[in-house]
Chains A and B, each alone.
Chain A
Amino acid sequence: MAHDADVLTAGGIPAAEAERYGHNLPLIDGNKTYRQVTEEVFAPTERRPPLRWWLALAITLSMLSLGAWAVVQTLTRGIGTWGLNRTVGWAFDITNFVFWVGIGHAGTLISAILFLFRQRWRTSINRAAEAMTLFAVMCAGTFPIIHMGRPWLAFWATPYPNTRGSLWVNFKSPLLWDVVAISTYFIISLTFWYIGLIPDLATQRDRAKTKLKRAILSVFSLGWNGSNRTWSRYEMVYMLLAGLSTPLVVSVHTIVSMDFATSVIPGWHATIFPPYFVVGAVFSGFAMVLTLMIIARSVMGLQEYITTRHLEAMTKVVLATGMIVGMAYATEFFTAWYSGNPYERYVFLNRALGPYQWAYWTMVGCNVLSPQFFWFKRVRTTPWMIFVLTIFVNIGMWFERFVIIVTSLHRDYLPSSWAMYRPTFIEVAILIGSFGLFFTLFLVFTRVLPMIAASEVKGVLKHGDH
């Protein structure tokens, strides 16, 4: 019975074990040739979109229009169209902001951190995940700008020389750190994504049938010709950008958490916030990547590129981060009790048992309980089950931000100021509009650019052969 273990793979792992854990399995199914990869990856960008794509676009554009109408209402009639009051001055919009920023984190994590860790399975999903990051950060950025009330003055948040005498932004304010962090994150993510796209844009350029398409792709592919000298520099730049993005992605949600943690509001003023927020962001981001990928692979017929092994690897990340998030919830309660601070204790009791307890228990159920199903291999490898569970995680993570923001604010030190918050239709419409923006951009992306990094997939095609 030990004869299986005598056969060792390159990594020194017994072949049977390696087989069991998928170490020597090919990353791409279907035993494809390089040409096949090119054809299949670029096919969606070269044929007419099917009817269901148009239907999906119609739905997402309707959502986007609803959101645009609500934003116009907000800007013309003022922030009074929202359900905010003097006690709860941050609620739905900041919840949405943190939610979308968090969603973005998975893209950078997949493209940068998994790259540095040599997790080669990332190649099938990194392009789409990075695109998701960009679209999510765009959605996130709209919320604080709308909340300003006068978004045409948003440039006041940047330090620019002005004629108002000596007048500069306050560099000691976490809100300014946030402006700088989110802008940097967007610019670097966009750069990283574009650098990754260049070789595929060149392939797309070479395949272009019309003159206009060829000209546009020629401009954006910057004369790429696959030269080894360029590849060698390209790989160096890619690695440097991955190295820069890794601490960047951690810093972004750390700084977002400092918007809350540097205040004196019970329930916000906690040193656990930075790691807690970063892990929550990875958790929600991976859930969103799974949700999107499960739809995309079946709609676009990419099951052989985004295999169940990819899905399984991501569910493991969701399970691990979900449990860290669960532990953070428990730690918050412990810290509140251990602090002996009556305000802190009250806030947490109020979260679990107060008027917003339904939101709190939705959050716990979705974020702590639902990932536990991923302990079963059958669940981890069944796309529809993953889809359902990741939807729950998305809902739970939205509620996490809502719970942190609203329950901490609505009852703090002064009982005479206690108040309740409920969103208005306008606020809900803006949230729907942000989903509309996100999915519209994603749908357009899947038809305009190669959703899978063809050049990277070709590089791992022979993985497991030797």
Chain B
Amino acid sequence: MATTELRNSRFRASFTDPEQLLRAVAYLRAAGHRVLDTYTPFPVHGMDEALDQRPSRLPRACLAFAALGLALAAGLQIWTSAVDYPLIMGGKPLLAIPAFIPVAFELTVLLAGLGVVASFFLVARMRPRWRVPDLHPGANDDRFILAAELATDVQFPAVARDLADLGALESSLLVEDRFQRGGSFWDRPAGVGALLLACLPAFLILLLVPVLNRDFQRRNLAWDGGMGAPLSAQAFDASGVLPGGKVLQAPPPDTLSRRGEPPLAYGPGKAEADRAGRELPNPYQPTQARFNRGKLVFERVCATCHGREGDNNGSVIVARGAFAPTVLVSPVVRDMPDGRLFHIATFGGPTKMKGYGDLLSREDRWNVVLYIRELQKAARPGPTASTPASTGAQP
């Protein structure tokens, strides 16, 4: 019988004006009745206070989701740009915090907005339904309705008379218990905590993935990498990507190098050229290795103008009609001492040729001189002309 009593103690009254509803709620509460809720076509301001309703805690959910959005956006951008795919673009640092702000802001707003709406639907128990009974007719139109529970020892007709005096259009006892009660998971403080707890695995995964896989001591994760300091790989920096663990790599085979040479005791000019011709012998003996190296350098550097055989045949500048360089297999060059040829290779010739001292190592220039001598032997008419360069190059 207790349940029937409970059901029969609930009643409803409807009004046409929000002010009347507010007065009726105040009256019922003062008289000891419990007002369960009101149903109105628009929010009636002052009703929360009249019903003594706690302000919503949804802003906390909003903040929690905003924090989640910010963390996800920061984690995603830092991890992809600086850890998983560290590609230098436009000389910007890999960890370019200012450039990450727009996306971080957008994702913060996105998650905060969607999160607070989802939380609202959850606490207000709003979900798609195929059928919604019209429990309080007119509440979405022009009626202002309250639902309340009678105080014990009070009879409904007396209350109904008072409500009519307050302007109630109609009031009636409710047969069924069909009011939604407040107090869901969100209305307890533990609710917000539970939500944060639920988000914790995501945070942990986000933190763990890079920690487990990557080395945070690497340069691309330095927090002081400002936008003003473009990131560039320095020659002697350590590198986690390149073979050998250094940025500077061994040059590929057949690279022409001129490192580690003592200063040359000759300068440019005609007088110095003559002095070199007088004083400077070729310090190297012709060998097969030197022949091969000299041939490589000659064909890669000198042959463009002088021709592969040193006879201007195939010379690009001759073919283009610019001018004809000195023919290397000519008697004039054949009669030049080694030191003179070395000086021309280093500082340039008397007419148009430029110096290659800054491009070729000293040894390579001597190798070229050796190779030119072989070319001259090969081009010389007579018995030695038939001698192959390779046999002539043997010691």
Residue in B37, B47, B89, B109 whose CB lies within 8 Å of A170 = B89
Count chain A CB atoms within 10 A of each CB in B38, B81, B141 and give the residue with the most. B141
- 26 chain-A/chain-B pairs, Cβ below 8 angstroms: A34-B16, A34-B141, A34-B142, A38-B141, A168-B85, A172-B81, A173-B89, A181-B106, A195-B117, A205-B132, A218-B129, A225-B132, A226-B39, A226-B40, A227-B38, A232-B47, A233-B123, A236-B58, A236-B59, A240-B112, A244-B113, A247-B105, A247-B109, A248-B109, A258-B102, A459-B43
Q: Is A171 an interface residue (CB 8 A)?
A: yes
Interchain nearest-CB distance for A313 vs B (Å) = 22
Q: How many A-B residue pairs lie within 8 Å, measured between CB atoms?
A: 202
Question: Can you add 10 more A-B contacts, CB < 8 Å, to A35-B142, A206-B134?
Answer: A167-B85, A172-B89, A177-B103, A203-B141, A205-B140, A206-B140, A225-B39, A225-B140, A227-B39, A455-B42
> In the complex, what residue of chain B is closest to A181 when comparing beta carbons?
B106
Residues of B with C-beta under 8 A to A214: 131
Count chain A CB atoms within 10 A of each CB in B42, B56, B120 and give the residue with the most. B42
Instruction: State whether A225 touches B89 (Cβ < 8 A).
Output: no
Q: Is A237 an interface residue (CB 8 A)?
A: yes
Q: Is B216 an interface residue (CB 8 A)?
A: no
Q: Is B346 an interface residue (CB 8 A)?
A: no
Q: Which of A194-233 contact B (CB under 8 A)?
A: 195, 198-199, 202-203, 205-207, 214-215, 218-233
A181 to B145, CA, bound (A): 43
> In the complex, what residue of chain B is closest to A459 when comparing beta carbons?
B42
Instruction: State whether B139 touches A225 (Cβ < 8 A).
Output: yes
A248 to B113, CA, bound (A): 11
Q: Which of B107-146 contact A (CB under 8 A)?
A: 107, 109-110, 112-114, 116-117, 120-121, 123-132, 134-137, 139-142, 145
Instruction: State whether B53 touches A232 (Cβ < 8 A).
Output: yes
Residues of A with C-beta under 8 A to B117: 191, 195, 237, 241
> In the complex, what residue of chain B is closest to A178 when comparing beta carbons?
B102
Instruction: State whether A168 touches B140 (Cβ < 8 A).
Output: no
Instruction: State whether A231 touches B43 (Cβ < 8 A).
Output: yes
Residues of A with C-beta under 8 A to B92: 172
Interface residues of A, Cβ cutoff 8 Å to B:
33-35, 38, 159, 166-174, 176-177, 180-181, 184, 187-188, 191-192, 195, 198-199, 202-203, 205-207, 214-215, 218-237, 240-241, 244-245, 247-248, 251, 255, 258, 454-456, 458-459
A205 to B134, CA, bound (A): 9
Interchain nearest-CB distance for A224 vs B (Å) = 7
Whether A222 contacts B140 in the complex (CB less than 8 A), given A34-B41, A227-B39, A233-B56, comes out as no
Q: Which of B211-262 contact A (CB under 8 A)?
A: none
Residues of A with C-beta under 8 A to B142: 33-35, 38, 458
Count chain B CB atoms within 10 A of each CB in A192, A215, A230 and give the residue with the most. A230
Interchain nearest-CB distance for A416 vs B (Å) = 25
Whether A172 contacts B113 in the complex (CB less than 8 A), given A166-B85, A228-B53, A229-B182, comes out as no
> In the complex, what residue of chain B is closest to A243 when comparing beta carbons?
B62
A203 to B126, CA, bound (A): 16
